[in-house]
Structure 1
């Protein structure tokens, strides 16, 4: 399981920095929305967990969502699209927004 902790993240650059650090994204991550989507649909960098599934937990996201609602919608769309991309595969991705 990987955890993306958004506590204290207040802008897009800080979000990208946190993704890079918390998720250990590959060197080719370009720190933009398209590149984040690419990373989440090419999970060759993410070790498969027991049972073949991958889990991403997003913590402390409420502050980011309130401060940047447009960008939060983009993030949610990217996460949803990644889940749909991996649905019904041997390495399904599950995203959990923790309250």
Structure 2
């Protein structure tokens, strides 16, 4: 089953960068996700809402895939280990959700600064 309708042109992968510089807690992480990932207005700034958004991604159009590059993960994880663990679980669930679809989600952690 494909996500695109017949005749709907597909673009390349949609790319977004999540910059975690200075993020040290859950509310700031969720705010940064809303800003950097251009989450929809209905995003509720909680883990369930982030999970919902990452399983929808309709506001990103009809790309051939989704890519999120995360910068500053190691410092974020050191500053807020429990929050980082929950964030990693939400991201892993989203990756697993998209894996069997024709628009996979890839998340990379770039800590070269």
Please indicate the TM-score interval, normalised by the length of the shorter structure: over 0.9
TM, length-normalised to structure 1: 0.92
Q: Could you list the runs of 5+ residues in structure 1 that have no partner in the other structure? A: none
Deviation at 1:88, TM superposition (A): 2.2
Q: 1:61 aligns with which of 52, 73, 78?
A: 73
Contact 1:9–1:64 under 8 Å retained in 2: yes
Is the helix fraction higher in 1 or 2?
A: 1
Q: Tell me how far apart the structure 2 counterparts of residues 92 and 41 of structure 1 sit (CA, whole Å).
A: 11
Structure 2 match to 1:33: 47
Moved over 2 A (4+): none
Q: Tell me how far apart the structure 2 counterparts of residues 78 and 85 of structure 1 sit (CA, whole Å).
A: 11
**Bigger Cα Rg:** 2
Q: 2:24 aligns with which of 2, 7, 10?
A: 10
Q: What is the DSSP-based 3-state SS (H/G/I as helix, E as strand, rest coil) of the residue aligned with 2:58?
A: helix
TM, length-normalised to structure 2: 0.81
Q: Could you list the runs of 5+ residues in structure 2 that have no partner in the other structure? A: 1-14
Pairwise CA RMSD of aligned residues?
1.0
